[in-house]
Chain A
């Protein structure tokens, strides 16, 4: 099997994640899609590391995971705060900029 297949899988997952971010209304699902995109990127990193024969890609992937964890913690806290005040986790409801 060719290693580039991993890259293609990565791109497909990334694309689906991007669509999900734009299309889904539930803030939690949107977050999941962002995680999906990050994971797809990680897969690409790991594959690149294997192609290049050094561990730099894996280190980058490691950092991505840490940053993703931070992002999830803060993002979910924001969702909870919004939900507490607005009783809704829909991103469309938080459209105060329009008014």
Chain B
């Protein structure tokens, strides 16, 4: 059975106000992570939750952790996430249609069951105890208190964690590093490739972009002799991103008349 009504000692009213405003927002944000189609939205919502948690930490007399939460998580880890998102494609949106049968339903059942049991267990573990509060533990300052713990009681774990950090850094470097299979193409190679290609159309080099000065030149296609835009004159990355100025507006007036 669930022991939801656990009395652990009350807090002051301001904290309660803070909690009841921020906690529902955090839960909503968490649900938003689940629902968001775009990964970047999820990342922003996660950042919000992390800041909320940082505020809770500070409210719970864990000043150091609150600051670290903001600096390390929201600052470093989330930036890392965003970097990767940019790398992978910031605009790609995921399909939320489930294609493994029964996955979603069983996930919800299992996770809710897990949560319920956890609540029950935690409640059972804390039953009949009253909160001590950190007033005495933080007497000499929260940071000093933590430092004392870290470098006395937990010094061994601290050293091990440092080794872990170095290993992770090295591992990330090894994973991200890609060995070059062949040397980079130089001008001579590119020239040969143009002339040996399937057609000689590109032998003279790709047409340059940016004919009309009133636009940002790189995203404006060059015009072919007949007035139609040359798609090869625009970087394929821009094209894929949809950052290309539509070529229609540059077509000759005469051609439009013909079409009409």
Contacts and interface: CB of A to CB of B under 8 A. Distances in A.
A touches B in complex, CB < 8 A: yes
A31 B115 contact: no
Interface string A63-77: 101111111111011
A51 B122 CA distance: 12
Nearest to A90: B94
B107 A23 contact: yes
A28 B119 CA distance: 29
A31 B53 CA distance: 18
What is the interface residue range for chain B against chain A?
Answer: 35 or more
B132 interface: yes
Interface string A37-65: 00100111011011111111011011101
A26 B35 CA distance: 12
B171 A74 contact: yes
A45 to B, nearest CB: 9
A55 B137 CA distance: 7
B250 interface: no
Contacts of A51: 8-9, 126, 129, 131-132
Contact of A32 (B46, B88, B104, B108): B46
A59 B57 CA distance: 13
B129 A28 contact: no
A83 B176 CA distance: 11
B42 interface: yes
Given A49-B134, A69-B72, A23 B46 contact: no
Contacts of B11: 1-3
A32 B80 contact: no
Given A7-B122, A55-B138, 18 more contacts: A4-B7, A11-B122, A17-B30, A18-B111, A26-B39, A28-B85, A29-B36, A32-B33, A49-B134, A50-B131, A50-B132, A52-B132, A53-B131, A53-B137, A59-B154, A74-B171, A77-B171, A83-B87
